[in-house]
Structure 1
Amino acid sequence: MLSETEAAELLSFLSPETRPDVKGQTTEYILGMSGNRDGCRFLRSKADLLHAVFALTSDPSIAIVKDCYHILINLSADETLHQVISPDSSADCRLNLHLALTVQHYRSSLIQVLVADVKVLPVLLKKLLDPEYVFADQICSILSNLTRHTKTCKTVLKVLQEEAGLSQLVTIFCTEGYNKKANFHYLGPLLSNLTQLPEARDYMMDKDRCVIQRLLPFTQYQASVVRRGGVVGTLRNCCFDHARHEWLLSDAVDILPFLLLPLAGPEELTEEENEGLPVDLQYLPEDKKREDDPDIRKMLLETLLLLTATGGGRNALKDKSVYPIMREFHRWEKDVHVTAACEKLVQVLIGDEPEQGMENLMEVDIPEDVEVKLKEADVKEQEELEKEQEEMRQEEEKKKSDAPGTDKGQDDGLTR
């Protein structure tokens, strides 16, 4: 990495008065640094450099502004924090836990520099609201990255409520053409991240506002998988509040068709099964296609499963003939992880009701030893699913390799 002298020289090139070509080369260099962990670690320790980079997001040069935003996107994202701690051995666990905590400290302190020291949030939010701003999509990406973890998510929500309000964010997201230079797709993941927090969910499901209802049509928004996934993630988070399940399933929201339609296919159901379904799912056309993205399909199933946590929710899904949709979906689905999620839902739909006093599955106290066994079972199930998926992949590759080759002479139109 750079020495203190070199860092100071680099900083001098980021002055607004510096020649545009020199500034451009400097921001390109810093952009390269921000693409790896060592570079991010170095930049984290140089708040003055980050201040200068952020100041240049108002530079007259579009190229320089673009570089600066991409630097901020890289700095606000750190996939290493999402590493799973392996349960292989106690020694490995301790080592992995230490590494995870080190990474988390590293990332949180970097985010702290961006949020607390550089104070990016008020400026970013103000620019986001500008319907003429060219780099609104980059701001959405930065905010989405900053809200992926609870601590910084709380900070972003607090500043958001002070500067604009969650309602304004939803309005922008739902207003086509709000900014002709931006698509705002990454507001979807941002909303999903914000609804990690109870206060954000409270707003989204305020019965005196019409907020969550405005998001429902985007579960089938074909133009962007990012937007679809963000909305489905938001709905899933909202469904963790079991006290609102009855309202979500009522005519006031009618969430069920919007969760089921992406999972429904063109299969022909019996007249009795069709009549039991919500109107929007009855007699679907032969060209009806399911959601393409397996992660979104899995989130939709998880959302439906959350709605079965209460007796009222289970009855609602059974009364609306969800099972036939899941039956056909299970026959169609090839992804083992999605299939497993589907099977969990089906087990609830066709299984017996819990005994008295345990109707609300979210409020059942699970003994510690049972919880440990359940977690171990989940790990084992995950390993088996991954093994099955690998076997399927190898089988597909073998079929391809065993397929008869094409006669090149014939392809070329040659005769022997």
Structure 2
Amino acid sequence: MAQELTTFLSHSGRPDVQAEAARQVLGLTGSEAGRALLTTHPGLLPALLGLLEAPPGAAAGAVADAWRALVNLCAEPGARAPLLAALPGLPGHLLARALAPSWPWAGEAAAALANLSRDPGPAREQLEKSGLGPAGAEEPGLARLVTALSTPGYNAHAPLHHLASLLHHLSHLPATRAFLLDPARGQIQRLLPLIQAPDSAVLRMGVVGTLRNCCFEHRSHEWLLGPRVELLTFLLMPLAGPEEFSDEEMDQLPIDLQYLPQDKEREPDADIRKMLIETIMLLTATAPGRKLVKNQGTYLVLRELHSWERDPNVRVACEKLIQVLIGDEPEAGMENLLEVSVPPDVEQRLQQLDQQEQQQLQQEQEEAMQTLSRLDGLSPS
């Protein structure tokens, strides 16, 4: 069967035959056994990847199914290495397609790239080398990525929400964080309005995840919390509801958080609410950061959120942050919580707990993707 599919996917095949072969391949990507078959058969992946470029005479349906099949394959951890082996330049090629304003399959290219870059290793490294780092071309790839995300209608053919997931994954790299946090470039400020993008939880999750990673750079906290960025206001806004405060309490809040309308709604996604809280927690790691966070009414927003919140994981994160906000200052030598020396056994246990949480989250995401794959053949990242 795999050999026949390889032949039928060929550029020289009849459009109707190509379309049927691509449909069969897309169906195979909906199961673990099918994805294993596709990644282990020589010649099939190059044939599929060749169809992505819409050769003359190819049926539009075949190209669409080929792109969707690639998205699903990139979501399979065991398929990523074979994909990179079949086409070593795949990450850079997908990036170019995702950032091409008129490319009709840019959304699928962005989703495939986001899936491919989930794991640290070759894909992220290739993207760095392809110009996503600070030493890129005239306009570095990261700047073009932020432009594509923050420009409404950048591609009239496709939404590019999955580029936010890609940026989130790339922000694990120190060079990416340094680029985004460079005050002279103003990249972070362009991302902030997307925290409340109404049409895509994928977009909001990717942007908030990127900001959370950037907040591990504690030397940037005062700049992020200061008047040039005002990050805290953007993080608190999705957590705030329509509650009324006394005049004295209202004066403690940033101006944009005062007198919110009665129909003000909170971020609907619990995972994003939790990530927003975690990002604020990181900003309290240093003494100056804690002071700035405390002095801008953060406790008031968290207090009301805790009363409203029903998700247990978000409530726990909220309680941890409230403890920091109302607790005493750490003793001398412990002011910067990101630089505190942790005993090896405690650090190992914390790493194990974090790993377990990440594995559980990844499993839930993969199960959700498999469900969506059965519905429409396209897996989100």
TM class, shorter-chain normalised? Answer: 0.7 to 0.9
- Determine if the alignment matches structure 1 residue 32 to structure 2 residue 4: no
Q: 1:372 to 1:26 in 2, by over 3 A?
A: closer
SS of 1:361 mapped into structure 2: coil
**1:270: how far off?**
1.5
**Quick one: which of 68, 71, 78 aligns to 2:69?**
71
Aligned-CA RMSD value: 2.3
Query: Whose Rg is larger?
Result: 1
**Structure 1 residue aligned with 2:160:** 184
**Structure 1 residue aligned with 2:92:** 122
Letter of the structure 2 residue corresponding to residue 244 of structure 1: S
- Determine if the alignment matches structure 1 residue 249 to structure 2 residue 225: yes
Equivalent pair of 1:330/1:342 in contact (CA under 8 Å): yes
Structure 2 CA distance for aligned equivalents of residues 169 and 157 of structure 1? 13
**1:10: how far off?**
2.7
Q: Report which stretch shifted further, 314-323 or 31-40.
A: 31-40
**Quick one: which of 117, 124, 143 aligns to 1:167?**
143
- Determine if the alignment matches structure 1 residue 220 to structure 2 residue 196: yes
Equivalent pair of 1:125/1:160 in contact (CA under 8 Å): no
**1:38: how far off?**
2.2
Percentage of pairs with the same residue: 46
Deviations 1:317-363 (A, max 9, x none): 11112111111110000100000000000010011111101101111
**1:58: how far off?**
2.1
Q: Report which stretch shifted further, 253-262 or 37-46.
A: 37-46
SS of 2:342 mapped into structure 1: coil
**1:369: how far off?**
3.4
The aligned runs of 1:220-369 (5 Å cut-off) are 220-369=196-345
Q: 1:199 to 1:70 in 2, by over 3 A?
A: same
**Structure 1 residue aligned with 2:366:** none
SS of 2:338 mapped into structure 1: helix
**Structure 1 residue aligned with 2:120:** 150
**1:201: how far off?**
0.7
Q: 1:270 to 1:121 in 2, by over 3 A?
A: same
SS of 2:30 mapped into structure 1: coil
Q: 1:122 to 1:322 in 2, by over 3 A?
A: closer
Structure 2 CA distance for aligned equivalents of residues 367 and 35 of structure 1? 45
**1:63: how far off?**
0.3
**1:380: how far off?**
12
**1:111: how far off?**
4.3
Structure 1 CA distance for aligned equivalents of residues 354 and 59 of structure 2? 52
**Structure 1 residue aligned with 2:376:** none
Equivalent pair of 1:170/1:211 in contact (CA under 8 Å): yes
Letter of the structure 2 residue corresponding to residue 283 of structure 1: Y
Deviations 1:372-400 (A, max 9, x none): 6667999999xxxxxxxxxxxxxxxxxxx
Deviations 1:276-328 (A, max 9, x none): 11110112122211111101100000000011111111101111121111111
**Structure 1 residue aligned with 2:47:** 52
Deviations 1:227-278 (A, max 9, x none): 1111111111111111111111111111010000000111111211111111
Bigger RCO (CA 8 Å, 6+ sep): 2
Deviations 1:207-229 (A, max 9, x none): 11010000001111112111111
Equivalent pair of 2:172/2:213 in contact (CA under 8 Å): yes
SS of 1:58 mapped into structure 2: coil
**1:160: how far off?**
4.4
Equivalent pair of 1:47/1:113 in contact (CA under 8 Å): no
Equivalent pair of 2:92/2:126 in contact (CA under 8 Å): no
Letter of the structure 2 residue corresponding to residue 49 of structure 1: L
Structure 2 CA distance for aligned equivalents of residues 323 and 142 of structure 1? 40
- Determine if the alignment matches structure 1 residue 205 to structure 2 residue 181: yes
Structure 1 CA distance for aligned equivalents of residues 147 and 201 of structure 2? 20
Q: 1:313 to 1:210 in 2, by over 3 A?
A: same
Equivalent pair of 1:136/1:182 in contact (CA under 8 Å): yes
Q: 1:372 to 1:23 in 2, by over 3 A?
A: closer
Structure 2 CA distance for aligned equivalents of residues 73 and 378 of structure 1? 27
Equivalent pair of 1:192/1:234 in contact (CA under 8 Å): yes
- Provide structure 1 residue ranges, at least 5 long, that are not aligned to the other structure: 1-5, 82-105, 382-416
Equivalent pair of 2:22/2:66 in contact (CA under 8 Å): yes
**1:189: how far off?**
1.0
Equivalent pair of 1:172/1:178 in contact (CA under 8 Å): yes
TM-score using structure 1 length? 0.79
**Structure 1 residue aligned with 2:81:** 109
Q: 1:30 to 1:380 in 2, by over 3 A?
A: closer
**Structure 2 residue aligned with 1:398:** none
Structure 2 CA distance for aligned equivalents of residues 109 and 373 of structure 1? 30
Q: 1:372 to 1:12 in 2, by over 3 A?
A: closer
Letter of the structure 2 residue corresponding to residue 253 of structure 1: V
- Determine if the alignment matches structure 1 residue 12 to structure 2 residue 7: yes
Structure 2 CA distance for aligned equivalents of residues 137 and 376 of structure 1? 35
Equivalent pair of 2:92/2:127 in contact (CA under 8 Å): no
**1:47: how far off?**
4.5
**1:112: how far off?**
2.9
Structure 2 CA distance for aligned equivalents of residues 65 and 322 of structure 1? 50
Letter of the structure 2 residue corresponding to residue 363 of structure 1: E
Equivalent pair of 2:238/2:266 in contact (CA under 8 Å): yes
